[in-house]
A and B are shown apart, each in its own frame.
Chain A
Amino acid sequence: MTPPPGAEPPPATRPGPPARSWKRRAGRRGPRLWPALAAPGTLWILALFAVPFYAVAAVAFGYTDPIFNSPVPEWDPRYWDLTAFGEIVRRSLYGDLQPVFLRTLLYVGAALAVCVLLGYPVAYYLARHAGRRRGLLLALVLAPWWINYITRMLAWLNLLQDDGYVNDLLLFTHIVSEPVRWLSGNPYTVVLALIYGYIPFFIVPLYSTLDRVDERLLEAARDLGCSGRRAFWHVTLPLSRHGLMTASAVTALPMFGDYYTNTLVSGSPTTTMVGNQIEFYLLGGTRKELGASLVLLLSALLMALMAYYLIASRRAETDLT
Chain B
Amino acid sequence: MAANFWNSSHCKQLFDQEEVDVVHPLDKDKGITLEDFKLIKMHMAIPICKLAQQVKVRQRVVATAVTYMRRLYTRKSMSEYDPRLVAPTCLYLASKAEESTVQARLIVYCIKKMYSDDKYRYEIKDILEMEMKILEALNYYLVVFHPYRSLPQFLQDAGMNDISMTQLTWGLVNDTYKMDLILIHPPHLIALACIYTASVYREKDKTAWFEELRVDMNVHDVPSVEASFVYLTALSFWQDLVKNIAMEILDFYESHRLITDERINTAFNKLKP
A binds B: no
